[in-house]
Amino acid sequence: QEQLVDSGGGSVQAGKSVRLSCKASYIIYNLYSLAWFRQAPGKEREGVAVRNTVGEYLYADSVMGRFTISPDKAKNTLYLQMNGVRPEDTGMYYCAADPRRINGIHDLDLKSVKYWGQGTQVTVSS
């Protein structure tokens, strides 16, 4: 059964760091684009970072230079390292698997996601 399990997160002060994990099944990890979406209260879910099917890492402008994806192929896990977090980074973060090759962050589309993690909350206080 294909699945995604995301974890990490929590409450953190602005300027600090937090790391999210996305553990995938073998097939998802190796054949899908893996992305993180976030949803702030009252706002739409938005894509913030993705590792596409050819191993490229793409980031939204709002997190560029602060968030970094790193892989652990042995564990079929991707990590999202979030440095210098800001209150506007607060939200529920979801790992997502999309079967398409994502060529730009704006290619991310909720309707194209085939698998979702359960979500993990990140709360940044000022």
How do residues 27-86 score in pLDDT, each as one tens digit?
A: 999 999 999 999 999 999 999 999 999 999 999 999 999 999 999 999 999 999 999 999
pLDDT (tens digit per residue) in 78-116: 999 999 999 999 999 999 999 999 999 999 999 999 999
**Cβ-contact 51, 71 below 8 angstroms:** yes
pLDDT at residue 1 is higher than 90: no
Q: What is the arithmetic mean of pLDDT over 19-24?
A: 98
Tokens of 54: 């050819």
pLDDT at 2: 77
Between the alpha carbon of residue 12 and those of residues 16, 18, 27, 42, 82, the distances in Å are: 7, 7, 33, 21, 11
